[in-house]
Structures are given as C-alpha cells and as structure tokens.
C-alpha cells in the first residue's frame, strides 16, 4: 500500500468514526496487527520467546488467548490465586479489544507496564509480573548483581534485534553447510560401492 493510499485510508476511517460519534453510535475499535518484536522493543527476542513459552503453557485451549479459567489456573500455579472478580479485573486492565480474554500481545503489555512501574504491586497483574522477576533471596546478591548487569548491558545495545537475527541466520547457514558437507561425504562413500 502506498503512503498516499494508507493516509487516505486512515483519514477515511477517522471521518467514519467522527460521523458515527456525532450520530450517537458506538464505535468498535479496530486494531492493526503489528510485529511483536518491533512493537515491544524493550524486550529482547529471547525474553519474548520466554514469555511466549509461558503464555503457551497456560493456553490449554490453544486458541491464542488466556481466558478467565486459564488465567485462574496460571495464577494458582504461580502461587498467587485470585478471586473471580480479581481475575476479571486483571483481564480488564490489559484487554484492549474488550473481548474478555488476554491475547499474547496483551500478555506482553503486563510486562511492559511492570517495567514502567504502572502496575499496583498488590494487584493481580503486579503479582504476576513480580513472580517472573528475579528473587534476591533465591539467587543471592551475586546473582542479582549479574542479573542487573545483564539488564543494563541489554539496554545499552542499540541493534539487539539485528544482532540476534544475524546470529540465528549464521546458525542456520552453518547447519546448512554441515548438511551439504555430510551429503557430499555420503555420496563419495556410496560411489565406492557402485
């Protein structure tokens, strides 16, 4: 889509919203699908993959959402059980599309809010975020020091995604070269028997 067409589309949508609001009609918000890695630039690719693994572990319905029951099980297993109303409040705090479920993108919003200090520590989401952070009592001061030094180093890297992607591509390239080499060696050995 060209820049002019995109701008025209945005302005037309804005005009439709304004007209609907002027007529007293409710306007359902629409959300654009974006790349998680670019939208949540404060997290490394590894962190996002770890969050994805946690999300998938509790998404027992495999529908891409954590519903009320799945969130309840998650909080119980993390050792911070919540009341029914508490769970509904947790969902409402990050449920941008108002569907009553937490998508993976909304799940990442929990951690973004936690890093920004926007969560009340006693709230369910605050407990969820805190349970995934480092515990100095368990790892000791040396472990906490290493953890925070690693966090600072991570924040100082400007092209962390490019570096990680480059490393993944190098690994794939190396594996492909090894596969080709093994194939050639096999063909040379097989030629002896022909």
* pLDDT digit string (tens) for the chain, length 194 residues: 577 887 888 888 888 888 988 898 887 766 665 678 778 888 888 888 888 888 898 898 889 899 989 988 888 888 888 888 888 888 888 888 888 899 888 888 888 888 877 776 667 777 777 666 644 444 455 555 666 666 566 555 545 666 778 888 999 999 999 999 999 999 999 888 87
pLDDT at 194: 78
User: Structural domain tally of the chain?
Assistant: 3
Whether residue 72 sits in one domain with residue 122:
yes
Whether residue 154 sits in one domain with residue 113:
no
**Residues 14-42: tens digit of each pLDDT:** 888 889 888 988 877 666 656 787 788 88
- What is the spatial distance between Cα 131 and Cα 47, in angstroms, rounded to a whole number? 15
Whether residue 61 sits in one domain with residue 103:
yes
Last residue of a domain, one of 132, 162, 182: 132
Last residue of a domain, one of 114, 132, 150: 132
Whether residue 159 sits in one domain with residue 188:
yes
pLDDT at 166: 81
Last residue of a domain, one of 93, 108, 132: 132
Q: What is the pTM of this model?
A: 0.53
Give the domain range for residue 65.
Answer: 41-132
Whether residue 124 sits in one domain with residue 80:
yes
Does residue 95 fall inside a structural domain? yes
- On whether the CB atoms of residues 71 and 102 are closer than 8 A, the answer is yes
pLDDT at 151: 59
Whether residue 94 sits in one domain with residue 70:
yes
pLDDT at 109: 87
Whether residue 54 sits in one domain with residue 14:
no
Does residue 78 fall inside a structural domain? yes
pLDDT at 132: 62
Does residue 35 fall inside a structural domain? no
Does residue 119 fall inside a structural domain? yes
Please give the C-alpha separations between residue 10 and each of 30, 32, 152, in angstroms, as whole numbers: 12, 12, 38
Question: For residue 80, how many C-alpha atoms fall within 13 Å in the half-sphere facing its CB?
Answer: 19
Does residue 36 fall inside a structural domain? no
pLDDT at 34: 65
Place of tokens 């929990």: 110
pLDDT at 40: 81
Whether residue 118 sits in one domain with residue 50:
yes
Whether residue 150 sits in one domain with residue 91:
no
3-state SS string over the chain? CCHHHHHHHHHHHHHHHHHHHHCCCCCCCCCCCCCHHHHCCCCCHHHHHHHHHHHHHHCCCCCCEECHHHHHHHHHHCCCCCCHHHHHHHHHHHCCCCCCCEEHHHHHHHHHHHHHCCCCCCCHHHHHHHHCCCCHHHHHHHHHHHHHHHHHHHHHCCCHHHHHHHHHHHHHHHHHHHHHHHHHHHHHHHHHCC
Does residue 176 fall inside a structural domain? yes
Whether residue 97 sits in one domain with residue 45:
yes
Whether residue 64 sits in one domain with residue 122:
yes
Does residue 183 fall inside a structural domain? yes
| CATH number for position 71 | 1.10.238.10
Whether residue 54 sits in one domain with residue 127:
yes
């Amino acid at each position: 889509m060209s820049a002019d067409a995109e701008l025209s589309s945005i302005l037309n949508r804005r005009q439709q919203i304004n007209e609907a609001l002027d007529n007293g009609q409710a306007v359902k918000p629409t959300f654009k699908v974006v790349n998680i890695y670019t939208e949540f630039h404060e997290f490394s690719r590894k962190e996002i993959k770890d969050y994805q693994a946690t999300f998938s572990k509790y998404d027992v319905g495999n529908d891409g959402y954590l519903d009320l029951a799945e969130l309840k099980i998650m909080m119980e297993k993390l050792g911070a059980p919540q009341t029914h109303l508490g769970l509904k409040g947790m969902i409402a705090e990050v449920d941008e599309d108002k569907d009553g479920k937490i998508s993976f993108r909304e799940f990442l919003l929990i951690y973004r809010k936690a890093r920004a200090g926007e969560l009340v520590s006693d709230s369910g989401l605050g407990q969820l975020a805190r349970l995934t952070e480092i515990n100095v009592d368990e790892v000791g001061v040396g472990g906490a020091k290493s953890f925070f030094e690693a966090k600072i180093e991570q924040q100082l890297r400007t092209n962390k995604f490019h570096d990680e992607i480059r490393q993944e591509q190098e690994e794939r390239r190396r594996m492909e070269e090894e596969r080709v080499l093994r194939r050639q060696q096999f063909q040379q050995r097989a030629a002896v028997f022909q």
